[in-house]
Structure 1
Amino acid sequence: MKDILIAFILGIVEGLAEFLPVSSTGHLILVGHLLGFEDERAKTFEIVIQLGAILAITILYRERLVSLFNIKPILNKEKKFNAIHIVLGVFPPAIIAGLLLHDVIKTYLFRPNTVVIGLIAGAILMIIAERKKSEPTSYSLDDLTYRQALTIGLFQCLAVYPGFSRAGSTISGGLLSKASYKASSEFSFLIALPVMVGATGLDLLKNWNHLSVSDIPMFLVGFITSFVVAMLAVVTFLKWLEILGLTPFAYYRIVIAILFTIFVLL
């Protein structure tokens, strides 16, 4: 029963935080530390519940994802969201996180003290992006230019540092490149999919030996919880973002980092 409760709690954390600018990885590490769930099995569990969040985005944006296989807009040079946007947004972080730094990051940076640094650094970026943003030139995905897609992809590279947040870095990059909240956040969701699938797939292969039949109920609860909560969180977040902007999420990150440092790390 304890494992099921832990799975439910972490599933909620993953579902809420994966596509919000607060860092799901950072929150999973911090909450896992508080729950005493930090062994090799915990690492594999985190991979499985991330797949639940991935499935949620796949279903919510299934029509957009299917449209990426249509190459007519590219051949006709139409101003429409297409596969090239995804490639430009995914290629930089995939190379840096997937090929160059993946093992180093997993080995040395997945710790509570480094996450605290990432939470604060990401919050500062978000506040700067809010203050420096100007009138958008792209209000929807179809308005995004290739340059904006590449810029957002480069900002996604910052998310390789645990606690920095993929959504926080990419949405900040979108605002700084004159994309609207809606265009920035939806593009952030879509370019997260290939990176997350690649990273979780690689991790799952490496940690497959830590799975056992007795873990199935726990992993299933975590997966389903993450999926359902992520579905609800994404829809709600898009509405909040238009009204509140990034600043409240930035302040939340700073408060969490300070509280965790005072009551846990010191």
Structure 2
Amino acid sequence: MYDIITAIILGIIEGLTEFIPVSSTGHLILAGDLLGFEGEAKATFKIVIQLGAVLAVLVLYWNRYMSILKDLATFNFKAKNKLNAVHMFLAMIPALMVYLLFKDVIKRYLFGSAPVLIGLIIGGVLMIIAARVKRKVTAENTDDLTYKQAFGIGLFQCLALWPGFSRSGATMSGGLLLGTSQKAAADFTFLISVPVMLGATVLDMYDSREFLTSDALFLFLIGFITAFIVAMIAVTTFLNLIKRLRLEWFAVYRFVLAALFYIFLL
């Protein structure tokens, strides 16, 4: 019963934190440590429930995904004035390659409270730099993105493989530094989240298949559904918030969270 309650709590945390640049993975690791929710299968659980929250983006951006798939089917790959599958691929491939090469090292050394706190701080510093460095905005919305900008954002997304950095925080910071508006960076971040998290979930579940008992799968389902429901409720508010609120405010939250956990957990 305790594991079920814990799964629900973590699902709520995931649904609330996935769409703001504060690192949902970092929050799940820290909360899991506090609740004693640890182990190989439970590490995979934290990835799986992220997909539940991210699928809320699939619902929200359904028409956009269908447009991208339609262009893919008709081989319409214009680099200008239309976001297409090539942009998505270029943004996804760097983090995918790094993850495949170093996933064992990442899980062994970075999925702990201390690395998460470091990631929160360094990621917060990056966000402050990105918000304050003045760049000429060449992409007001996602349709203005060039292939070069999409690939550059993908390189920044590699930083998010360090729990605590935040995928949205890293990619939005990269977008701002590469000349996108905050709105364009946020929209593109959410759009690439579905294929990225779907791939990560499939890979993690395959790697942890020996630990996936019926009890574990039941917890996965509870956390997945909870995260999806909470994310659907929160997504509109948070999407509007992240497009308007400067990244420095999220960085301050990260610093405070890291300080509190350092004092009371470590």
In the superposition, the TM-score normalised over structure 1's length comes to 0.92
**Which residue does 1:89 correspond to in 2?**
91
**Which residue does 1:255 correspond to in 2?**
256
Q: Distance in 2 between matches of 1:75 and 1:248?
A: 37
Q: Distance in 1 between matches of 2:93 and 2:261?
A: 34
Note closer, same or farther for the CA distance 1:75–1:22 as it changes in structure 2 (3 Å cut): closer
Number of aligned residue pairs: give it. Answer: 264
Alignment of 1:26-37 (within 5 A): 26-37=26-37
Q: Distance in 1 between matches of 2:259 and 2:229?
A: 30
C-alpha root-mean-square deviation of aligned residues, in Å? 1.8
**Which residue does 1:59 correspond to in 2?**
59
Q: Could you tell which deviates more after superposition, 174-183 or 27-36?
A: 174-183
| Residues 44 and 211, structure 1, Cα contact 8 Å, conserved in 2 | no
Question: Secondary structure, in 3 states, of the residue corresponding to 1:162?
Answer: coil
Q: What is the one-letter code of the residue matched to 1:237?
A: F
Alignment of 1:146-185 (within 5 A): 146-185=147-186
* Runs of 5+ consecutive residues of structure 2 not aligned to the other structure: none
Question: Secondary structure, in 3 states, of the residue corresponding to 1:192?
Answer: helix
| Residues 41 and 210, structure 1, Cα contact 8 Å, conserved in 2 | yes
Q: What is the one-letter code of the residue matched to 1:187?
A: F
* Residue 243 (structure 1) shift: 3.1
**Which residue does 1:195 correspond to in 2?**
196
* Residue 135 (structure 1) shift: 4.9
Note closer, same or farther for the CA distance 1:14–1:74 as it changes in structure 2 (3 Å cut): same
Q: Could you tell which deviates more after superposition, 123-132 or 134-143?
A: 134-143
**Which residue does 1:9 correspond to in 2?**
9
- The answer as to 2:25 corresponding to 1:25 is yes
Question: Secondary structure, in 3 states, of the residue corresponding to 1:74?
Answer: coil
Q: What is the one-letter code of the residue matched to 2:17?
A: A
Q: Distance in 2 between matches of 1:101 and 1:78?
A: 34
| Residues 73 and 79, structure 1, Cα contact 8 Å, conserved in 2 | no
Q: Distance in 2 between matches of 1:176 and 1:47?
A: 28
Report Cα offsets for 1:47-92 as digits up to 9, x if no partner: 3312212321222112111212214573566521111111111111
Q: Distance in 1 between matches of 2:252 and 2:226?
A: 27
Q: Distance in 2 between matches of 1:134 and 1:35?
A: 43
| Residues 126 and 250, structure 1, Cα contact 8 Å, conserved in 2 | yes
Q: What is the one-letter code of the residue matched to 1:47?
A: I
Question: Secondary structure, in 3 states, of the residue corresponding to 2:205?
Answer: helix
| Residues 176 and 182, structure 2, Cα contact 8 Å, conserved in 1 | yes
Q: Distance in 2 between matches of 1:117 and 1:77?
A: 37
